[in-house]
A and B are shown apart, each in its own frame.
Chain A
Amino acid sequence: MAFDKMELRDIEVWDGNFAAAQALRQCQIDVVSAYPITPSTPIVEGYSKFLADNYIEGEFVMVESEHAAMSGCIGASAAGGRVATATSSQGFALMVETLYQASGMRLPIILNVVNRALAAPLNVNGDHGDMYLGRDSGWIQLDAYSPQEAYDLNFIAFRVAEDHEIRLPAMVHQDGFMTSHTAQGVHTMDDDTAYSFVGDFKPMNDMLDFEHPVTHGVQTEEDWHYEHKARQHNDLMTKVPTKIEEAFAAFEKLTGRKYNQVEKYDMDDADVAVVCMGTSVETAREVASEMREKGIKAGVVGLRVVRPFPFMEIAAALKDIKAIAALDRSSPNGAAGMLFNEIAGALFNTDSKALLTGYVYGLGGRDLTKKHLTDLYTELQANVDAGKVLTPLQQFIGVRGPKLAFL
């Protein structure tokens, strides 16, 4: 290899952004086309520094907007390169049109989304508004709860996305600032081990294969469009979950770190459970353990794979739970929250008699404290004791002013 390798300690103290940048270096990304935006900036900044310091053979393309950034990624990926970028919030929103292009063209681009609130009002802090905006875009969406996971899930994302049976782009999400700018111990892989997990990029239908000229980005009208979209949905529903499980198993074999589509914590005998994403999952785990000391059988379900939504796995994880709280860190703006709806859908035709309530929390980076979660578990237990939901079905946590609740 013409580039230099980097000596890493077994445990490095990295924030989520640097962990993701290191993963991009170790995967040897050919092209990063980017328009940096807070709080994801250090990921692409890190890549370009590694590139300048000869740790990567690749190309950093600085463009004029996020729309152009993803367009550059699409071109580079269609040409046959291993491609990644990063964005947040408004940048993600500007990328949306091209997100659908990337997934429809079946290009295995990896997008690190450092979750941040959507304006207005302008806010640089973490919530899941941008993550939710992308959930119908046909991408695979993986969610990290810590810098370690932001590192690990990048490798898993490349392995799944680039598989020739899959060929779909994937997002790796992490919470803005709460993960991206929080330094924690990260167990590293050495460069060769890390690269061996993703392997050499195997191009497919690439434009640089001059012996097999191809046309990408074609037009289809009523006669073809539906079949292509149906095929994409089919592959997400039937092929991707299996490949993700295989990648999780291979990753565990390599590192000892085990990931699941649905991350269960103390769920085996739990009466009450919180379902959430991002850093909140870890905080909720800590609170769940404390609740058990108080006699409440509390569990936590973290959604690791947001899309394709693990419908059956969620139903299985929650099947014996008596009261469930679905925590959405994004304003549903006129509906029940996404997690509330997905969980309701997953449980509806089952024997579950669970009391399901939804909570909106943490918008614009508002702190989710252990006190909030303690109160929440207490409320769930009260529902269990009463045998019915005692509160409205949708409540806002941690917002100032009169209690906000609906439904």
Chain B
Amino acid sequence: MNGATEDLGATLTFDLSRPGRIGCAVAAPDVPLSPLPPAPLLRDELPLPELSQLDVVRYFTRLSQLNFSIDTGFYPLGSCSMKYNPKVQEDIARLPGFAQLHPLQPAETAQGALALMHGLQTELAEITGMDDVSLVPDAGAHGELAGILIARAYHESNGGGDRQRVLVPDSAHGTNPATAAMAGFDVESIPSDADGNLDIEALESALDGNGDSVAALMLTLPSTLGLFEPQILRIAELVHSHGALLYGDGANMNAMLGRVKPGDLGFDVFHLNLHKTFSTPHGGGGPGAGPIAVTSTLAPFLPTPHVRRNPDGEFVLAAPERSIGRLGLFHGNFGVLVRAYAYILSLGAQGLRDISEAAVLNANYVQARLRDAYRLAYDRRCMHEVVISGSRQKAKGVKTLDIAKRLIDYGVHPPTIYFPLIVDEAMMIEPTESESKESVDAFCEAMLAIAREVEEEPDTVRDAPTRAPLRRLDEATAARKPVLRWQREDGV
């Protein structure tokens, strides 16, 4: 890699700085000069690095060559749906009419953008089988917060403001209990049964007698075990019979697209991750979008602004009558919405159905190929991801972390590990729908090879990675003694 394998992570642009070197000349001002602020407010020397353009281009290009991305390799990071994002979406998001909009320009001058948002609201309502949609939330967990605040507002408007408990299965995404706690609710965990389903008896006992203190059950479907909940209709009935709401975490919706509508299952609120299911870029921390779909009962509580179409055809930004209010700046991550809408329209209804078919088929194929070498957490058909356990390998002295690191040597991004928490030595593998049989096979071959290495040459696995630019990183010290920013030698 043309000399780029030196420890670039430890080299900063500050280290490459040479006094007086410049990257570009600032043009002479063509506006009248203003006086400077008072001297005490000014620093006369910012410690910024001084580099030429070429230095900067080489530095960041080399760093980017060390990056692992879906454009360079297989990325089965469970629960994250690291699938391929068709490039046509990027072309469309860059059209000047979308890219050069200003969020403060009058709505009558942005009718095309509002029509797109209205169209996306309509498509997502159809896909989820719900009555209305808000595009405001900027991430999945933000959608959860919006949904749970709506649940509170709904209960308050119905004399149920003292409903203080939120029930969360132990197979839910970790953000679910965090969201409920952040919104001020008391969180109670509901265990899973031996088959990986929600323990209905535990749910009944949590509801019996004091069900009127429960605001909502937050259910992830399919669960983080990669399993569909076959008792979902019974669960919805139980929750509703106590006046509580059923919240759905739809981060795994790529398993159900065009096959199952959450609205038909009894969900009252359901969030979607556009950056997972609807193929917008993610993995770098954002931006994302976590729209929520709701029943007509909850629609008046949706956050502001909500795109509506007046009888005369004009699109407006409205405040729903009992809105929980604003949750962020402007209108959400608009560029993400453009990409998601382009994705939905370019695929069409049959294309969306094909996604869920391929996602589920690929995960079950991985399950079938790995089932003899690794322990299956639950021996049943999975949905879009499969959870296996490295416990047999751990008994031989090789940890799941070692297996994950060894995958890097095989050119594969490691799967999600040690989650869900209820599976010992968990590996959560989501091949996604966009991978071919050949690439899924290559991953399975790597996993099988590593299982053989655990038997025959365990140190090879324990020492991994050996073929990556850097060897095993000391994650424990990084967490115990984090160095959060660079400091000059003089401490500035």
State whether these chains interact. no
